[in-house]
Amino acid sequence: MSKIKLGILGGGEDSLIGILHRVAASMFDRYEIVGGVFDIEHARSLSFGEKLQLDSKRIYRDLDHLIKEEAQLPENERMQVISVLTPNFLHFPMAKQLLENGYNVICEKPLTTTYEEAKILQKTQEKSGSIFGVTYTYTGYPMVRQMKTMISNGEIGEIQKVDVQYYQGWINPLIHDKEKRSNTWRLDPEKSGISCCIGDIGTHAFNMAEYVTGMRISSILADLNYLYEDNPMDIDGTVLLRFSEKVKGVIRASQIATGEENNFTVKIYGNKGALKWEQENPNYLYLLKEDQPLQVLKPGHSYNSDFSLEGTKLPPGHPEGIFDSMGNIYLGIANAIEKNTKFEGAFPPLAEGLRGMSFIEKTVASHKKGNVWIKMNDK
Amino acid sequence: MSKIKLGILGGGEDSLIGILHRVAASMFDRYEIVGGVFDIEHARSLSFGEKLQLDSKRIYRDLDHLIKEEAQLPENERMQVISVLTPNFLHFPMAKQLLENGYNVICEKPLTTTYEEAKILQKTQEKSGSIFGVTYTYTGYPMVRQMKTMISNGEIGEIQKVDVQYYQGWINPLIHDKEKRSNTWRLDPEKSGISCCIGDIGTHAFNMAEYVTGMRISSILADLNYLYEDNPMDIDGTVLLRFSEKVKGVIRASQIATGEENNFTVKIYGNKGALKWEQENPNYLYLLKEDQPLQVLKPGHSYNSDFSLEGTKLPPGHPEGIFDSMGNIYLGIANAIEKNTKFEGAFPPLAEGLRGMSFIEKTVASHKKGNVWIKMNDK
Amino acid sequence: MSKIKLGILGGGEDSLIGILHRVAASMFDRYEIVGGVFDIEHARSLSFGEKLQLDSKRIYRDLDHLIKEEAQLPENERMQVISVLTPNFLHFPMAKQLLENGYNVICEKPLTTTYEEAKILQKTQEKSGSIFGVTYTYTGYPMVRQMKTMISNGEIGEIQKVDVQYYQGWINPLIHDKEKRSNTWRLDPEKSGISCCIGDIGTHAFNMAEYVTGMRISSILADLNYLYEDNPMDIDGTVLLRFSEKVKGVIRASQIATGEENNFTVKIYGNKGALKWEQENPNYLYLLKEDQPLQVLKPGHSYNSDFSLEGTKLPPGHPEGIFDSMGNIYLGIANAIEKNTKFEGAFPPLAEGLRGMSFIEKTVASHKKGNVWIKMNDK
Amino acid sequence: MSKIKLGILGGGEDSLIGILHRVAASMFDRYEIVGGVFDIEHARSLSFGEKLQLDSKRIYRDLDHLIKEEAQLPENERMQVISVLTPNFLHFPMAKQLLENGYNVICEKPLTTTYEEAKILQKTQEKSGSIFGVTYTYTGYPMVRQMKTMISNGEIGEIQKVDVQYYQGWINPLIHDKEKRSNTWRLDPEKSGISCCIGDIGTHAFNMAEYVTGMRISSILADLNYLYEDNPMDIDGTVLLRFSEKVKGVIRASQIATGEENNFTVKIYGNKGALKWEQENPNYLYLLKEDQPLQVLKPGHSYNSDFSLEGTKLPPGHPEGIFDSMGNIYLGIANAIEKNTKFEGAFPPLAEGLRGMSFIEKTVASHKKGNVWIKMNDK
């Protein structure tokens, strides 16, 4: 099975979302990045592509060129799917053009800037029959998937209350200063659509509420906060949810929850139990039952569903972030190799391995001699 | 700057350590995997290399062939560093041969099976002048690096107590059954050296204690547990540490701490404060000071050291595991593309993006109409 | 300073609220319980009073008798304050009668069954000039008081968002069974007023929101859930709050949050920081500031306000519940004394104290002899 | 059943241990404090007894007087048990005298200053047949009792590892200053016996290890730290434990664990599972099993043992500290009554009860009118 050929639009240089998508694409050895348009300026796009060691011929000037020139390649070399990581207002025209040309698409959220555009996109996809994924990232966590499975298996019975919170504080230092708030693109309706807080994070909360419950919200009542009259965009809001007459819920989203980082929590209450999950500690899923001990489920255990286990690469107790830890050590070694610096601490040098062996041997010796002190002579 | 050419020994197929090293190598776009020996059986090695889409010429029969044939390549194409992910007893001969042939080496721990071997390796490296990294993975976490920096900056004053715990429970189901325990390679001195628990995890604790404090342990007193007389290998132990006359510490390591996953915690107490870190929640670093509120530091904030920030790729509140979450979504899309299945839940399809746009528009409308209920008509 | 003479209405036998009030009254050696009406049946009231070793003359038949006969006592012997712990619908008539007769009153919440009654009570108090306390218990926690002080000192700046949650699950096993729900007094408007969930716990959330912020809610919008058409009382609800045009908030209360015990949490966000507190872990107060480490404040430290410290009786690290732990040991000893049983474990007998001394001496001896093993010969 | 007559030695005025014992004695309405010797100075003892409203005749000059004069009282009025809360070196002579005179005794720990004294005490008790309790306070927590029961029921199988930690940091600011350390009574062997850290807190750890496991430690190996040569008392130590050849353990105790408050944690690992408990969060008991979700047990649930439930006075979710919260409100009211101050915040006044009623009515009205905004007109 050969790797899927992946093209990328946007996400160049220091783009965080670019890093996230590239690493994600590498995780299961299933994708090969073959080219794209990384930047609106072709020179920068080219130099970034070079850093990724891509064939410079496939670093295109723009999307039109990409589509035209990829079509010239032998079919088994062409991009099979393209990730759209550009600013929000470009999602729609690019995704549409890609669909019209038969590409599978991975698109960052929000999908478009208006509902109208999104409907057009949907019709376009229906014609093309392409695969189209929107990266609501948080639905990929193993314990979110476990939550979804357990709910659909009836583990907590019939749902009777849904409570989703998405609190951040990042806009607080900007919103109270008139100049700053008028210069923030997130607060500019032309660039960000009609909503800031709900558009950016409320939409994650909404998607998650429907994703894990498998239910559809039938109506909503919202109260938003703009804080200042000259601010056209909501930066905080509470939305009452009605799934059905009996099943209610609430989404709370804020960007002025000062000091909060990315506090996205999901609580689903059924008539037989409840499930809770918090994005900032994504390896824990809490199962509550009446008059029973609280249960804490973690990834990688055999009690999890196949769907959850498929997304876990390491044994229990290895938080997913361990990839990053190892990644940092590889970075330290790369720096050492290329710059010939050997910064103490950036990676464990051979001497530490040596010392570790000494420790093992002396520990066993201390024990075998009757638990006595032994010197660690070496350094 | 072109990518560093990386070869790999071992780590084929479903090897967890193989996945970990490959993902780590991809994290900062600094390495390109070009070949290696993935399996002792060449056919399996080849088929795994094919999965990684490597040039089959560089999937070598064994290390001898690798060394000989790589040397035939133009210098700028040759492997620059080689990761040794083979069983423990092969670390020494392979690493030695690599050093003797001028390669930079990344080697899994434990470095060797005896201290004697490790000393030979060190001498070999001194001659070759190569870079040699031992992957004590946990030292790469951003908050471990922050801990190291804060201690070296005197944040907690002079260290007066060191407490490191590494508790696992995985060997419990094996150790109490005579047949199982005699068939576990980890409990076989020929394959695993003289120690199981201390050799496998005690050594991490030891390395961490010295890494974060910047101090050297001068002597040790150990009490190990073997549980059964026919078991030649420790599966639990406590090691008293003496850094200096005044500065003492203790390492507790266990593989019979039933129910523990990978509970590695580090506590360093100084005369001006203390720092604590837990591997299973690696994004939190706790700073204790006399009669002051407990402080909880997290990655990505400007209050962290450059050394810590270098290892953080995303903004605060995005646990490092988010890469995995996104990785899982990419996997779902890959499956959809290749198998043409569109499993509901494995990735968010376009329809969810559409629905998200509807939610945003209706939320703003509900608010603007005076906080009234609005129907979500679409599905 | 002599103790205040306290009378009690209700709270007899196994009444939990009775225990809570009696222990609270004993905490600072400021009250002496002298009598009351513990039960509607006089015989039970008398026997309970006897258990408390009260003068049986002051265990009155009913409130009328209490008022008449207390007035006959010398002034310095009379009850000075009376706690009303009776069912909700009796709060109003009893408290009114007490105020009219010049008594200070401590009254359980909810104050009355209707707002109308409460207004009458207020007018009665204005005439009498008595002290009148309503036991919103949770406002007495040291860290709630610390929160109130910090907010009033401007520690988190101007408040911009208030979020209070009070989730319980206790009504879940009753509500889904038609017979059970029609026989629960909490769901009977005649006994419990017009609201169950909001009346019982929403009102705590409301009081807490105003208590810690020092602000007043100016208007509300509510969405309640009754789950079944034949159920006349809300058992879940979300209330949008408006303090002022800019300052909004939300109260979420539920008795169908299955598996929740008494999950009452308060989050206050200001433009300079935020404070969070959770009733189930009442010794922790969380202070969030932009781009600073999270701070966790605990009771008894000098960094707390005098108002908070006044309510802390033990040094830091002794959770308030330690009183209960010691109380249990006293109970074990009481049982041993009276029943002459010496149940192993109900309290530590002398032999354990002896053994503790042996441990101390042998520990020092082991150390002084150079860290050697010493036997614990005794049992 | 009349209350048990309790006398107290020591614990006068602001003594924390005095408060703790008095509140504990009141918790189950089983004791009546009738007198004692609260202070070495009789005048202070008398004034403290007056505060407690005790009969001044039973505030004795010293223990000799107490014993002589109590014996003159009718038998059913005499003290039945006496709590010894005096400085450590007085425990022995007082407890001995009490036992010799037939009293039941409650004695603070450490029982005596030497093992020798403790043995004498034991013999004295054997003769007298009195009840004698040593207040190892922490064994009274409901979840410690649950832990003990579960272990004895075989819930975690055969114990294979015991790990107890007791870390405090309080001596850190004293120990590094020569003058301060030479003036601290805890570091003076004449007043505190041969050990500071082990004697004060190590002994709790030791008792707890044996209490919850029901096993006896057979030998120990200790490493203590004194930090300074002129300091005669240990302020930190690690003690290796051997229960049997196979079953090992470790106690870690410290008073120089800077920033720690009263961090006493117990971890017991068996071959079928493990149990963990932390004194600073005493309402949580953690049950670990291989490849099963972590379970968190809390007090008051029916899944707990009778022994645990006996020590829980309130329903689940009410942390034991709620007594203190209510106690603080009673204190606020006492202050208001006596000083006629009505400090805003020290207790909830009638106006808050009124406002609560308004909130309830308006919330129901908002809901019934179709979820609309309603003003809170009153203040």
Per-residue pLDDT reduced to its tens digit, D218-240? 999 999 999 999 999 999 999 99
Mean pLDDT of B149-169: 97
Model confidence at B197, pLDDT cuts 50, 70, 90, reads very high
B161 with D236: Cβ contact below 8 A: yes
Task: Return the closest-CA partner of residue B212 out of B264, B284, B139, B273.
Answer: B139
C163 with A248: Cβ contact below 8 A: no
Closest to A256 (Cβ–Cβ): which among C161, C236, C240?
C161
Asked if pLDDT for residue B340 goes beyond 90, the answer is no
D240 touches chain A (CB under 8 A): yes
Confidence (pLDDT) at A103: 93
Mean pLDDT of B56-60: 96
C123, burial (CB in 10 Å: exposed 0-12, middle 13-18, buried 19+) = exposed
What is the C-alpha separation between B350 and A124, in angstroms, rounded? Answer: 11
Contacting subunits of B (3+ beta carbon pairs below 8 A): A, C, D
Asked if pLDDT for residue B337 goes beyond 80, the answer is no
A272 touches chain C (CB under 8 A): yes
Query: Could you count the other beta carbons within 10 Å of the beta carbon of residue B302?
Result: 8
D220 touches chain A (CB under 8 A): no
Mean pLDDT of A194-200: 90
Average model confidence (pLDDT) for chain D? Answer: 89
B327 with A23: Cβ contact below 8 A: yes
> SS3 string of A259-274?
CCCCEEEEEEEECCCE
Confidence (pLDDT) at A129: 85
Mean pLDDT of B238-255: 94
Mean pLDDT of D178-205: 90
What is the C-alpha separation between A213 and C16, in angstroms, rounded? Answer: 38
Model confidence at B343, pLDDT cuts 50, 70, 90, reads low
D274-328 per-position pLDDT tens digit: 999 999 898 999 999 999 999 999 998 999 998 888 877 777 777 656 666 677 7
DSSP C152: H
How far off is chain C from A214, nearest CA to CA, in Å? 19
Confidence (pLDDT) at B243: 93
Mean pLDDT of D198-225: 92
Average model confidence (pLDDT) for chain C? Answer: 89
Beta pairing partners, C252:
C165, C238
Mean pLDDT by 10 residues, chain C (379 residues): 88 86 84 94 94 94 97 94 91 95 90 88 90 87 92 96 97 96 90 87 91 92 94 94 92 96 96 95 95 94 89 72 69 71 65 75 84 77
**Coil, strand or helix at D298:** coil
Confidence (pLDDT) at A180: 95
Highest average pLDDT, of A344-348, B190-194, B374-378, C317-321, comes from: B190-194
A268-282 per-position pLDDT tens digit: 999 999 999 999 898
Confidence (pLDDT) at C1: 57
D244-254 per-position pLDDT tens digit: 988 999 999 99
Confidence (pLDDT) at D378: 59
How far off is chain C from B292, nearest CA to CA, in Å? 7
Mean pLDDT of D98-123: 90
What is the C-alpha separation between C358 and D195, in angstroms, rounded? Answer: 12
Confidence (pLDDT) at A341: 59
A332 touches chain B (CB under 8 A): yes
D278 touches chain C (CB under 8 A): no
The rounded percent of chain A whose pLDDT value lies above 90 is: 58
B293 with C302: Cβ contact below 8 A: no
Beta pairing partners, A287:
A275, A295
Closest to D256 (Cβ–Cβ): which among B160, B260, B289?
B160
B296 touches chain C (CB under 8 A): yes
Asked if pLDDT for residue A342 goes beyond 60, the answer is no
Q: What residues 141-180 of chain D have any CB closer than 8 A to a CB of chain C?
A: 141-142, 144-145, 148, 168
Confidence (pLDDT) at C322: 65
Confidence (pLDDT) at D316: 77
> SS3 string of chain A?
CCCEEEEEEECCCCCHHHHHHHHHHHCCCCEEEEEEECCCCHHHHHHHHHHCCCCHHHECCCHHHHHHHHCCCCHHHCCCEEEEECCHHHHHHHHHHHHHCCCEEEECCCCCCCHHHHHHHHHHHHHHCCCEEECCHHHHCHHHHHHHHHHHCCCCCCEEEEEEEEECCCCHHHHCCHHHHHCCHHHCHHHHCCCCHHHHHHHHHHHHHHHHHCCCCCEEEEEEECCCCCCCCCCEEEEEEECCCCCEEEEEEECCCCCCCCEEEEEEEECCCEEEEECCCCCCEEEECCCCCEEEECCCCCCCCHHHHCCCCCCCCCCCCHHHHHHHHHHHHHHHHHHCCCCECCECEHHHHHHHHHHHHHHHHHHHCCCCEEECCCC
Average model confidence (pLDDT) for chain A? Answer: 89
How far off is chain B from C220, nearest CA to CA, in Å? 12
Inter-CA distances, B54 with B59, B61, D97, Å = 8, 15, 87
Model confidence at A253, pLDDT cuts 50, 70, 90, reads very high
The tokens for D154 are 């075989």
**Coil, strand or helix at C6:** strand
| Gap between the terminal Cα atoms of chain B | 50
Confidence (pLDDT) at C268: 98
C226 touches chain D (CB under 8 A): no
A114, burial (CB in 10 Å: exposed 0-12, middle 13-18, buried 19+) = middle
A211-222 per-position pLDDT tens digit: 999 998 999 999
CB–CB contacts below 8 A, B to D: 124
Mean pLDDT of A67-94: 94
D6-26 per-position pLDDT tens digit: 999 999 987 888 888 888 888
Confidence (pLDDT) at B79: 94
Confidence (pLDDT) at D343: 54
Model confidence at A379, pLDDT cuts 50, 70, 90, reads low
**Coil, strand or helix at D181:** helix
What is the C-alpha separation between B174 and B172, in angstroms, rounded? Answer: 5
D323-361 per-position pLDDT tens digit: 666 777 777 777 777 665 555 666 777 777 777 777 777
A101-153 per-position pLDDT tens digit: 999 899 988 888 888 898 899 899 899 988 888 888 888 888 998 999 999 99
Residue B100: CA atoms inside 13 Å, Cβ hemisphere, count?
12
Closest to A257 (Cβ–Cβ): which among C227, C246, C274?
C274
Model confidence at B325, pLDDT cuts 50, 70, 90, reads low
What is the C-alpha separation between A196 and A182, in angstroms, rounded? Answer: 13
Asked if pLDDT for residue B26 goes beyond 90, the answer is no
Please report how the helices D142-152 and C322-339 are oriented relative to each other, as an axis angle in degrees rounded to 10: 60
**Quick check: ipTM above 0.85?**
yes
Confidence (pLDDT) at D322: 65
The tokens for A182 are 């008028």
B356 with A206: Cβ contact below 8 A: yes
Q: Indicate the pTM of the whole model.
A: 0.91
Asked if pLDDT for residue A325 goes beyond 80, the answer is no
B373 touches chain D (CB under 8 A): yes
> What does DSSP say about strands A4-10 and A31-37: parallel, antiparallel, or unpaired?
parallel
D7, burial (CB in 10 Å: exposed 0-12, middle 13-18, buried 19+) = buried
Mean pLDDT of A152-171: 97
Query: What burial letters (b/e) apply to D43-58, b meaning 16+ CB within 10 Å?
Result: eebbbbbebbebeeeb
Confidence (pLDDT) at B136: 87
A295 with D296: Cβ contact below 8 A: yes
How far off is chain D from C29, nearest CA to CA, in Å? 6
Closest to D223 (Cβ–Cβ): which among B240, B271, B371?
B240
| Domains parsed from chain B with CATH numbers | 4-135 (3.40.50.720), 139-309 (3.30.360.10), 323-368 (no CATH)
The rounded percent of chain D whose pLDDT value lies above 70 is: 95
How far off is chain A from C345, nearest CA to CA, in Å? 24
Asked if pLDDT for residue D184 goes beyond 70, the answer is yes
Whole-number CA gyration radius for chain A? 25
What is the C-alpha separation between A203 and A166, in angstroms, rounded? Answer: 10
Residue entry with tokens 């009718």: D74
Confidence (pLDDT) at B339: 67
Q: Per this entry, what is the length of chain A? A: 379
Asked if pLDDT for residue B38 goes beyond 80, the answer is yes
Confidence (pLDDT) at C112: 87
B294 with C298: Cβ contact below 8 A: yes
Confidence (pLDDT) at C96: 96
D282 touches chain C (CB under 8 A): yes
